[in-house]
Structure 1
């Protein structure tokens, strides 16, 4: 299959794509654009962005019949079939495609039609910058293997099959570029956007530490594959904007979006919270190179990109990755122990905030990602649990449980390495990936086999069930105390608010809280409290009240003014804190081994 993609009209945000099919099906070739992109579990219907499409063969027009929302069938033709189509690209995210006068970006799932029946053929793609002198300095960043290099943003690339073709996003423009090697493997960082005084030297050095630590984690010294990365080259594609955050993993690259203020500044050696968060995002997406891009759930081997692919294992693939992303920052020396425990504290408090954790298990959350996690509404905290955040706590609890029960001879690290050796290392050895994914039953059996423990009760209660994890006990076994750090009981509304200008709007109303009991709803705009206009932060306003006081609240619901009598209840927002114990006892030794990734002999 031979594609050509041209940034044809940046002002209109249009990519022009040509697809040449040498041997189309005799009965009429079917082509389809994916309905979703791996790593983002929601049907997005990318075909809606195809503006127009036409077919031709040997100079003759070939009619195309639309079969469904994302598929076409060409009429039978005697020779090669060529399709010409335009893709509207105005989605400034890591999931789709974006083109304007400043840069171009696309994921293959948004622009490359799949030729049904020819998915395992080699796929070649020519990429071209826009026409005009103002685009002469544009260049290309992608992990796609190069077939023929061109000048500037022109080049020809090749993929072994369609799955590989769509797993390499492409950035074109005048980005800042830096390179480094991690255990001998070339890595590139392309930063798109206006970022003055960007410290690329520091960013490269910090990412090198993360990458080398993760490579050595899965392929430790002393093994046949010691410190061997699963890719020949890796690219971090980063779009810096005024305010943004997100990432999407690929087999040899990641697409990232961040706030420019989160990137390091020359001459400023301190590590801001924003930069630490960005490094955590990079660590998360890089860990996916192993966990989900190669170690996959059976439902993803292979993907069916036209419909939902259901699995109950996202708590492992996203949750465990969320556990290791920050842990790797500690293990590579970018954060200290206190900073790491602070990040764990934030996750615990976030999970405890919503009552949905008692109604939906992480296994159910994984399965329902398509309709619940990725389509959250104002009631989400009361109805669902995140397989990212609670999944990371499941990983923490499993790690500490395994270390405690085996006297620190085994850990979650061992399980991850065996998953890699059994399911991930050879995943792309051939084009046919069917049957190479791991099933729910196989995951649990592997945990028992690697650790020598019987963990069914743990899985029943905390993975398939909705019990809160016994973190206080487990953390104590690792020399970490957990305690409520509230300084005093204070009144609260039991809601999350946002301010826009002078408005104070309720975003979420937590089940059982004062707002819920009084009848306030998400979307209500608070106007006055006891006759005084709501202009300040609610915490400041409630500083004049006590738990149990009744206040009169005036609020707009849509365009109607309503009056509520609200009895203020104690603010139950979780404020737990983690603190490391001091001393040379066994618990402290366990903590040091856990954080460093060591075992007892």
Structure 2
């Protein structure tokens, strides 16, 4: 009721020297610190006979015990009220448990097996769903610490649907407040995604215990998220299937399932082994996360869950974000990936300039995936077969890879000249290819309407709400985050004024006087309005452009259902 779980951990057969137990600071699938210790209290430590033991605190995350009888029992209360892929949530609807956020561990026992027993609420008809090996009743087993920490668990009155693919079972566990009929309809979409993504690699991974499990929570008390694991994934949303989730939640399903190949088995060396006391810095996230992001909506299109027109329109926001971001002048995709510890749900209280210095490796990598796919198709190849080569070279046999391995594999697949050019220009540097030509090859128009203007800052209730974009009209005029705009030209700004409609009255290169307030003082500046840099993507047919057979064939090979 009060978001509390009572946890007891028993560590046996310990050597007589000092032992350490600790709480994780990070979680598999996340790339930042989360300091799970902050939600632990009422800690008690005893020996095998129940005698209290003296403990010391060498740091904020761990405890040391000097004298014991070979057994240490640790009990504590865990507060958890974040139902997502990183944290835990305990309430009367479910016990949604991410293992690093829930359980303490002993580093020197990390290679030993772990058993866990869940005391479920029978009165609430709770059941256990997890990728852990079932032992008996509500007891489960992991072969070592890495597997245990990578095994989120949903305990609730959930529903489940299953289907078999090539001798393995795909389970979809759903905790929601909807109907069984809604789940039936949604599961049909899930099955289409699974089968289309399987076509990319030619086979499913060999799942431990022959089972892969989606752990979905679509409830109001959850938080929107998705997190991949070796043989399962956590997918959470506040949107029910009846109120938009039928379409709105399915993209996360596509993204997370693609990860069971790309990330979980086609795995960066930099993530092995996963460290629970610090972050793993990885330069491959543009591929691991970004290429997965490219394939998620592509899979929806191939599965027939969104139209080709909707897929192309869905690219517009990410395309503009990546192409127009000033951050690319500072970091290439590898270096953007290095920023993950500071942005992956990490928090700090000091202001940052991310709007000008950072491009998400999800988005950046997604657009690089698009660029590489279309570049390969221009040469009679495709990204699907490159991913399949990465699978056969690295993923299937679980041999971790590096950026150099990615480069060498592309050389092997597409030729040294092609691979060297792509990596030397777009991965080791921050250039971007001729997307207008590449999109034109598949009958997609890339255009800009430069009759419109761009200001370069967002104004909310008369106040600039974030750092102005480097090089933009507002930036060059000296305007900054927090400035209160009093007047634009002859128009006094108040809540009844639509600022966007004001910009629509101007042309590029118009000089517009701005009156603003900063630190309590009224000031003036002049903005020279730039032409809009917003791109639009659309199918040839929507612009009444002829789509010849060659372009149609290339588009079909790209977007149609894979047989």
Same fold (TM over 0.5): yes
The structure where helix makes up a greater share of residues is 2
CA distance in 1, matches of 2:217, 2:162: 16
Counterpart check, 1:161 vs 2:121: no
Counterpart check, 1:232 vs 2:222: no
> Structure 2 vs 1, CA of residues 544 and 534 (structure 1 numbering), >3 Å: closer, same or farther?
farther
CA distance in 2, matches of 1:91, 1:586: 51
| Deviation at residue 91 of structure 1 after TM alignment | 2.8
> Structure 2 vs 1, CA of residues 162 and 332 (structure 1 numbering), >3 Å: closer, same or farther?
same
| Deviation at residue 196 of structure 1 after TM alignment | 7.5
Aligned to 2:249: 278
- 2:485/2:493 contact within 8 Å kept: no
Aligned to 2:468: 509
Aligned to 2:129: 141
Aligned to 1:460: 424
| Deviation at residue 505 of structure 1 after TM alignment | 4.7
SS at match of 1:233: strand
Aligned to 2:201: 218
What is the TM-score of this pair, normalised by structure 2? 0.89
Counterpart check, 1:389 vs 2:372: no
User: What count of residue pairs does the alignment treat as equivalent?
Assistant: 549
CA distance in 1, matches of 2:474, 2:483: 10
Deviations 1:371-393 (A, max 9, x none): 35655865212112221111111
- 2:26/2:275 contact within 8 Å kept: no
CA distance in 2, matches of 1:597, 1:404: 20
User: 5+ unaligned residues in a row in structure 2: which ranges?
Assistant: none
What is the TM-score of this pair, normalised by structure 1? 0.84
CA distance in 2, matches of 1:178, 1:472: 45
Q: Which moved more, 1:155-164 or 1:534-543?
A: 534-543
CA distance in 2, matches of 1:308, 1:228: 28
- 2:205/2:261 contact within 8 Å kept: no
CA distance in 1, matches of 2:222, 2:321: 22
CA distance in 1, matches of 2:238, 2:496: 28
Counterpart check, 1:293 vs 2:276: no
- 2:173/2:213 contact within 8 Å kept: no
Counterpart check, 1:69 vs 2:52: no
- 2:161/2:172 contact within 8 Å kept: yes
Counterpart check, 1:50 vs 2:40: yes
CA distance in 2, matches of 1:546, 1:397: 33
- 1:182/1:211 contact within 8 Å kept: no
CA distance in 1, matches of 2:117, 2:342: 37
> Structure 2 vs 1, CA of residues 138 and 393 (structure 1 numbering), >3 Å: closer, same or farther?
same
Counterpart check, 1:541 vs 2:512: no
Aligned to 2:162: 180
Q: Over the residues paired in the alignment, what is the CA RMSD in angstroms?
A: 2.8
CA distance in 2, matches of 1:227, 1:249: 14
Deviations 1:143-163 (A, max 9, x none): 3222112xxxxx111111111
| Deviation at residue 100 of structure 1 after TM alignment | 2.5
CA distance in 1, matches of 2:174, 2:524: 50
Deviations 1:381-407 (A, max 9, x none): 2112221111111112222222323xx
Of the three residues 447, 467, 477, the one matched with 2:410 is 447
CA distance in 1, matches of 2:307, 2:499: 34
Map 1:98-137; keep pairs closer than 5 Å.
98-129=89-120, 135-137=123-125
User: 5+ unaligned residues in a row in structure 1: which ranges?
Assistant: 1-9, 150-154, 221-225, 266-271, 428-435
CA distance in 1, matches of 2:193, 2:292: 14
| Deviation at residue 275 of structure 1 after TM alignment | 4.5
- 1:492/1:568 contact within 8 Å kept: no
SS at match of 1:35: coil
Map 1:506-585; keep pairs closer than 5 Å.
506-526=465-485, 529=488, 530-547=491-508, 548-555=510-517, 560=520, 562-567=522-527, 569-570=529-530, 572-580=532-540, 582-585=546-549
